[in-house]
Amino acid sequence: MSFFQHGLRRSVAQLSRSSLPRSQAVCWQQKFALSQKPPSNIVRLATAARCYTTPTKPTGAVAPTATIPLPTASPSKDSSQQQGQQAGEDSGAKQSSWPESNPKVVAYWLLGSAASCFGIVVFGGLTRLTESGLSITEWRPVTGSLPPLSQADWESEFEKYRASPEYKLINPHMDLDEFKKIYFMEWTHRLWGRFIGLTFVLPTVYFIARRQVTRRTAGTLVGISALIGFQGFIGWWMVKSGLKDDLFAPGSHPRVSQYRLAAHLATAFVCYSWMLLAGLKVLRTSRALSNPEAAAKAFAALQSPALRVLRGSVTALTVLIFTTVLSGALVAGLDAGLIYNEFPKMGVGYKPPNAELMDKFYCRKEDGSDLWWRNMLENPSLVQLDHRILAMTTFTAVCALLAYSRTGRLKATMPKDVRKGVMGLFHLVSLQLALGISTLIYIVPIPLAAAHQAGALALLTGALVLGQRLRIPKSTFALVQKRLLAQKTQLKTTR
């Protein structure tokens, strides 16, 4: 019986090619196929190949090869399962309201927020250097957005400042006009922080509510928003330490706690770094999806075993730079830059005397068990020595990284943007070293000290950018593979 069915099908196919128009032939084939049992796999494959390559007979002129669609026969069990799976994937994709990639506007917004965060870090250093941070003695997140608007309001704020230890011990001669100068410095710093919070939180709510970012990016934006709010709390916690007499030794210079200052600066650096890396990742993904073939080649180059040591070295160097920044915050909090203002020596030698470095004055336990770590964190002489050691170690590590990147095997496999990143990092660390030494020698002038703090953040930026260029984001790599597969499938379909 199957022999007669096969012969009848061949007769219908020949009849459609010879005497009937193409549309009528296809219609006859479809009707006949629907009335029969599903053909076997071998017959179906042969029919498919024949239908995609069957030429039409020429009528006077040479006709091009015609492509005839496959007959719509009843699907087999395997094909029905595949169609069901594909339908399930399509419905699942439709149900997911989160996009696969982020628009470029999100990257520009993140980088703009990072730039604003960079600026407030530098301005915060100026606020500390001008001793303006303790001029506002209350934390009012909402009502404190406006400065005093009347003479009575100014008198009230000045009266609160007169009750602080800083006014009693350092500024008893200050009048209202001088108070207004330091007040506006601190008020501008706090207003800038509120501006960063609003310009980040409100767009975050919009992008998430409108599903304009990926699910992973949405979590990142929520995390950064929470960190910004926490940073505001840390800032007030730091200022509060300079408003009470019991938080520093009697007779000492009224200042904020160096621990809280370091925590405030570290949180600001983490917030900036998070914004920067998130923005760079969005841009990199967008660039990779615009040209997936080039991105695939770039990712393949980054998978070279020769870059593995370089990648780990950059990660360790980033941690070293961040640790050096924290030690610099301790130097600033203790005013340790105002002593031993020469380089490379500290007094008559390259380090202060041992008795000065490990002074029992800083111990708070009778047995002296806290001698070493109290001196490391609270002794200005040892704190400055530690910062010098860390700074010179950072400079030496960057120089070693530059020399290692010039070795034959690594130089041949290192991408061009990575090579530029290593050289840029060397320039940044050289500039930072010059700024640090100049700030120390000239006894911490405000312009040089502010530039030195900006240089620290710029150096960390260089290390973060270099590390980002050396890594392959898993999500971006998966999207590139998916885009290449889609292009390959589309190409096969068009053929």
Q: What is the pLDDT of residues 425-454, one digit of tens each?
A: 999 999 999 999 999 999 999 999 999 999
How far is Cα 285 from Cα 107, in angstroms, rounded to an integer? 10
How far is Cα 182 from Cα 167, in angstroms, rounded to an integer? 12
Confidence check: pLDDT of 246 > 60: no
Among residues 397, 447, 440, the alpha carbon closest in space to that of 422 is found at: 397
Q: Within 10 A of 136 (CB to CB), how many other CB atoms are there? A: 22
Q: For 378-419, how does the pLDDT look when each residue is reduced to its tens digit (9 = 90+)? A: 999 999 999 999 999 999 999 999 999 998 888 888 999 999
Total residue length of the chain: 495
Structure-token match 């200052």, residue found: 261
Among residues 2, 4, 9, 52, the alpha carbon closest in space to that of 30 is found at: 9
Structure-token match 């087999």, residue found: 76
Strand blocks (E) in 174-242: none
Confidence check: pLDDT of 341 > 70: yes
Return all residues near 465 (Cβ < 8 A) that are at least 6 apart: 276, 280, 421
Q: Return the amino acid letter for 151.
A: Q
Between 17 and 347, the more confident residue is: 347
Averaged pLDDT for residues 471-485: 89
458 CB-contact burial (10 Å; exposed 0-12 / middle 13-18 / buried 19+): middle
Collapsing DSSP to helix, strand or coil, 471 comes out as coil
Range name among 81-90, 114-123, 166-175, 234-243 with the lowest pLDDT average: 81-90
Among residues 309, 275, 257, 242, the alpha carbon closest in space to that of 470 is found at: 309
Q: Residue 473 has what pLDDT?
A: 87
Confidence check: pLDDT of 292 > 60: yes
Collapsing DSSP to helix, strand or coil, 59 comes out as strand
H and E: helices and strands count for the chain: 19, 0
Q: Residue 454 has what pLDDT?
A: 96
Return all residues near 185 (Cβ < 8 A) that are at least 6 apart: 126, 127, 130, 132, 135
Range name among 7-11, 390-394, 470-474 with the lowest pLDDT average: 7-11
How far is Cα 320 from Cα 317, in angstroms, rounded to an integer? 5
How far is Cα 48 from Cα 58, in angstroms, rounded to an integer? 22
Q: For 144-190, how does the pLDDT look when each residue is reduced to its tens digit (9 = 90+)? A: 788 899 999 999 999 999 988 888 888 889 999 999 999 999 999 99
Residue 19 carries which DSSP code? T
pTM: 0.79
Structure-token match 């393949």, residue found: 300
Structure-token match 């210079």, residue found: 253
Q: Would you say 212 and 106 are in contact if contact means Cβ atoms under 8 Å apart?
A: yes
Among residues 152, 236, 125, 145, the alpha carbon closest in space to that of 188 is found at: 145
Cis amide leading into 344 (omega within 30):
yes
Q: Would you say 398 and 424 are in contact if contact means Cβ atoms under 8 Å apart?
A: no
Q: Residue 96 has what pLDDT?
A: 64
Q: Would you say 53 and 91 are in contact if contact means Cβ atoms under 8 Å apart?
A: no
